[in-house]
Structure formats: structure tokens, C-alpha cells
Chain A
Amino acid sequence: GAGVSQSPSNKVTEKGKDVELRCDPISGHTALYWYRQSLGQGLEFLIYFQGNSAPDKSGLPSDRFSAERTGGSVSTLTIQRTQQEDSAVYLCASSLRVGGPSTDTQYFGPGTRLTVL
């Protein structure tokens, strides 16, 4: 079946503009994660959705970042008033089930490369 998809694949924006990044997880996956991969910073966790539970937003770097997941499927990551330090590859991942002693493999999307000029 289809894997995790993300759009757009590339986004160039001007400093101060808002951007929306989209993630379509694998159908039936209940958990969805957003990560960021910055040059020189490596990969870092941003936000996590699990079913109908309140999302874990502990990784969001500032209040300019927000995300929602509608209907337990598609997720949108929004960055307001973009700054140059927001330039990175934003990765989405999904997994079938979480919790308990046997954790689940995360399937990653191809990422959205964001460049803030």
C-alpha cells in the first residue's frame, strides 16, 4: 500500500510569511509524528498525535509552530512568521500502534524541505 506522503516536497518562502506543511500517514496508523532535520542539528522531535488523545507538543520550538490532525488522519504543521532558522527538512512519520512493551516501527515520509529567505 501507499506509504507516508508529504507535500509540498520543497517550499521556499520569505521571512515573516506563514507556511503549511501537510502529512498523509499510512491508512489505519493511529500515531503520527513530526520531526525536523536541520543542518548541523540532526533530527529532533516536534509533536506527536495518538488517536484522540491530546497531542504531545513538547518538542515545538516556539509558539509560532502549531499542528493539527483532522479526523485522525491527515496532519498539517503550520509555521507562522517564518524565520531563517526555521529552514530545515520537516519529516512526518506514522506507526500502527503505540504503547506497551512492544513498540511499533515508524514509517517516515520523504520530507518537506523548507527554505526561508
Chain B
Amino acid sequence: KNEVEQSPQNLTAQEGEFITINCSYSVGISALHWLQQHPGGGIVSLFMLSSGKKKHGRLIATINIQEKHSSLHITASHPRDSAVYICAVSDNFGNEKLTFGTGTRLTIIP
């Protein structure tokens, strides 16, 4: 069983739809990261969470430490949001090496 699991693996939606990507983890963590990777592109860090909720533009990330679960939401989705979204956790204080989920491939259709 992977330490970090994401769902769904693939998601296709129409432009404007509200998107939710889920991440569950099985280890104690110091932080959870949401990353974005465009096709052929590099990886960009979207959020780093240790509790609660963060918002940046149309993106919202939440985490429930007790349930070991996080969600990434995209409001008013746009074709430029099409990318792979990766959940990752750092599980030790003092060493922030990341353990990654397998990613969610999001496609937004105009």
C-alpha cells in the first residue's frame, strides 16, 4: 500500500466546473504539499499545508490531520488548469524529503 494515495487518477471536466482532487496518507507528516506539473513542464509548488485551509486565486487546499486527508479544489476551472496535480508529504521534522502520490491528470475541455 502506498503511503500517499490520490484520487481520481484521471479527471476530465468542462470549463467552469468545480474540481476536487483528493489525497490520503498513512504516515505522520510535518506538511503536505500540492504540486502542479504541466505536460513537458517543470514542477511548481502550489501549496504547503500543515493544518486548516489555504487559498490562492481559484485554488483552495484543505487538510484534515485527524483523518489524514487533503483536498485540492479548483473553482471556475479553465483549460490552462489542465495538468498533473501531485500530492506529496514530508514525514519528518528536520528532513523534508517528499513522498509522492501518483498524481491526478486533469483535463479541462473548453
User: Which residues of A pack against B, CB within 8 Å?
Assistant: 31, 33, 35, 42-45, 48, 50, 56, 59, 91, 93, 95, 98-111
Contacts and interface: CB of A to CB of B under 8 A. Distances in A.
A57 B31 CA distance: 21
6 contacts: A44-B100, A56-B97, A93-B43, A99-B94, A100-B94, A103-B30
Contacts of A42: 100-103
Given A48-B95, A59-B97, A99-B93, A106 B33 contact: yes
Given A101-B30, A101-B50, A101-B93, A106 B98 contact: yes
Contacts of B86: 43
Contacts of A50: 94-95
Contacts of B42: 91, 108-111
B45 interface: yes
A61 to B, nearest CB: 15
Interface of B: 30-31, 33, 35, 41-45, 48, 50, 86, 88, 90, 93-103
Contacts, number: 65
A93 to B, nearest CB: 8
A105 B45 contact: yes
B43 A104 contact: no
Contact of A103 (B90, B101, B102): B90
